Amino acid sequence: MSRPERVIVFCVGNRLMLDDGVGPAVFDELCAAYVLPDEVELLDVGCMSLSMVDKVDAADYLVTVDAVDGTGEEPGTVFEFAPEDMARHAGAMASLHDLKLVDLFDAASLLGYSAEGKCFGMQVENRTPEVVTMGLTPRVYDAVPHLVDAVIADLVLRGHCVKHKDTGDVVAPGWHHRMRAEDGPGLQ
């Protein structure tokens, strides 16, 4: 019997910079609402760095969840990219962070590591507040369930067993996630 595919989900972003914190918001919801299988590791990485290159060696498949800007779409719009597609954009659909998943793959490749990957991003409304501000703008906050759904759907379609914590129900194609009511809308 072969071992299950090893997956690492990088939730990227700065919680103190409004919508730049969309990756950590997805991390929080995934931790609060779902039981992920042992072969799926979920990480809140802040801003991605080369210190994560060892994770590439440990994984068969990497997912990045991040904020994007300059797409021309409405805030809260969810995107799915191959790592190299996202990195080829200098403005529109570019990650807001200096190190992108494709850069991490390139560095890992030089060390002889390899893994597949996918990027999920959300168009933001405000990623550069004048003062440190925790929380998300209302339109981005309201769309977080869609970004969570995209990540969960990707894992399920790849054959990983994801369960809802409250009910123990196995997430299957077509199943829809729920934001926790106690979190409330908008800025926190």
Across the range 96-124, mean pLDDT stands at: 71
How far is residue 136 CA from its own chain's centroid? 15
Higher pLDDT, 103 or 90: 103
Q: Report pLDDT for 85.
A: 67
Distance CA 159, CA 63 (A): 15
Percent of the chain's residues with pLDDT above 70? 73
Beta-carbon count within 10 A of 33 CB: 19
Distance CA 149, CA 2 (A): 28
Q: Is 158 exposed, middle or buried (0-12, 13-18, 19+ CB in 10 A)?
A: middle
Beta-carbon count within 10 A of 99 CB: 16
Across the range 82-100, mean pLDDT stands at: 52
Integer angstrom CA distances of residue 36 from 68, 92, 94, 122, 168: 26, 32, 28, 22, 11
Q: Are 42 and 27 in contact (CB under 8 A)?
A: yes
Domains of the chain: 7-178 (3.40.50.1450)
Distance CA 7, CA 61 (A): 5
Beta-carbon count within 10 A of 14 CB: 19
Q: Collapsing DSSP states into helix, strand and coil, what is residue 128?
A: coil
Top-ranked range on mean pLDDT: pick from 12-21, 49-58, 101-110: 12-21
Q: Report pLDDT for 97.
A: 46
In whole angstroms, how large is the CA radius of gyration of the chain?
Answer: 16
Q: Collapsing DSSP states into helix, strand and coil, what is residue 107?
A: helix
Q: Report pLDDT for 123.
A: 95
Res. 130: pLDDT tops 90:
no
Kindly report, residue by residue over 146-187, the tens digit of the pLDDT: 999 999 999 999 999 999 999 999 998 765 544 444 444 444
Distance CA 30, CA 185 (A): 17
